[in-house]
Chains A and B, each alone.
Chain A
């Protein structure tokens, strides 16, 4: 045999693997603590103080004052209600319509599906600020294309963003515009992932087209749809933040403000750290509770198609 005998090797003891994982974790953990966990604690502390963010002005302890004042504020309840409107307004755009489209278009040929896919995904990668700018231009009451076309067919121009009755729906539609293609893709992918032999089996059993949708496709899509619903409930109002900030500033008359926007408003427009922090704590607890319930629901109602 051509192989020569190896020299006796040095034998290393097994390294203490007790510390190794922490070493690898430390950069991430330190950063997460500094930028998320410590700030959470700090927000909780600051929520009991009154302070205007200037380094040399005093922090005054005010106990639960910030909380009671916020709860007494009509603006808070208005924003909370608007948060609900945002979520329920976005749901059809982010889940229902895409679900219908995904089911309806599942047997389009591969080639055209790919083209549609490439196109309807575009809004997802467009920056929210850019989307806001473009829609602001399209919806401009004087010269925007939409209003010009409305006038062209004999309507009065609509003040999409400055009418308190329509502004929130305009922001919802823009948020939905960013999401609708993406959701459609997710649901189409889930739909395409349904094991074709299930559908074939149902056909062998004599199920009609509609029965296949009702008994096979919808149940098997339900976990993906439910996931989208949960994400929309949790994040829908957050997604709208940029549009509110850029397009309406929460107005007119607070009609488009939601809880995230209010938070920003407290913190950085009025420079009231205490209020901002108290609102943050309220938001965090509310958000946590909702998230907890929703994830329990997902666990309960999701089943897997293997």
Chain B
């Protein structure tokens, strides 16, 4: 018999409670928590900025707001290392790496999304696996390869291993796979060959993904430290991260110029962040944990 769980008498009459409002206390505590976290996250950055603007004689003051401001630290930093040159190097490094990772990523992702071919799953896994290989594991052979090519201490050497990234390939392949197959087939029926389908149908529709990936790669490359550290010999051929490091290994700490150089190194990324805050956060949240 199927009678009738639903008609059985209720197990127990509950006391009737009023709808509890969102308690103001909880929300307030939430705000306090978030404000504390915000201060923790932002204060060091603010302190860098503030310190960089203090004149030398006020360097060790602890007032939150610099009482007097000067650009002395910046002048000193610029005299000590070729910051302009290093920023340009970093920019070239980041822009070229981003462009190439996108390019190789788009081409490879298109292959995965457009065809099923012998070994495709295997190749895809092989690409995905490289995302997990710690750079430290391959650094010595990479270094030796660069040395053999005679490219030590050059921007080209910085860029070469960064022309491809598994992340770009995987992310773009994922986006392309979720693009409706029928639209591609429609393009084929309309006479478009693969090259055209990639650039005229796929790419315009992946602009969002591509932009967010570009932001991610650019910022990560800008902040890259390890590989430049291996290759750098002279300040002229180094990136700005190495420049900052140079300040710290110097005898004694020149805090003022160090903070000035750090500020200069962070500015481009911070400007991007201020302008494109939403997109930056989103692109990191999608895939930026590495």
Using a CB–CB cutoff of 8 Å, the interface residues on chain A facing chain B are 15, 17-18, 20-25, 27-29, 31-32, 34-40, 42-43, 46, 53, 55, 101, 104-105, 107-108, 112, 116-138, 140, 143, 145, 148-149, 152, 177, 180-182, 184-186, 189, 206, 228, 231, 234-235, 238, 241-242, 245-246, 260, 263-264, 267-268, 273, 276-277, 280-281, 283-284, 287-288, 291
Contacts and interface: CB of A to CB of B under 8 A. Distances in A.
Most buried by B among A37, A39, A228: A39
Nearest to B280: A125
B9 interface: no
Interface of B: 14, 22, 26-27, 29-31, 33-34, 37-38, 40-42, 44-45, 47-48, 51, 59-60, 62, 103-105, 107-108, 110-112, 114-115, 117, 120, 123, 126-127, 130, 132-134, 136-145, 147, 160-161, 163-164, 166, 169, 193-194, 219, 222-223, 225-226, 229-230, 241, 244-245, 247-248, 253, 255, 258-259, 262, 265-266, 269-270, 273, 277, 280-281, 284-285, 288-290
A180 B44 CA distance: 14
Given A120-B38, A276-B140, A185 B281 contact: yes
14 contacts: A18-B117, A21-B117, A39-B142, A40-B138, A42-B144, A46-B140, A120-B38, A122-B41, A123-B44, A125-B223, A126-B269, A133-B262, A246-B245, A288-B132
Chief secondary structure at chain B's binding surface: helix
Contacts of A185: 281, 285
Given A24-B194, A264-B139, 18 more contacts: A17-B115, A18-B117, A27-B108, A36-B130, A40-B137, A127-B265, A131-B44, A133-B48, A133-B247, A177-B41, A184-B37, A185-B281, A228-B289, A238-B136, A242-B226, A283-B134, A283-B136, A284-B134
Nearest to B64: A145
A83 B117 CA distance: 42
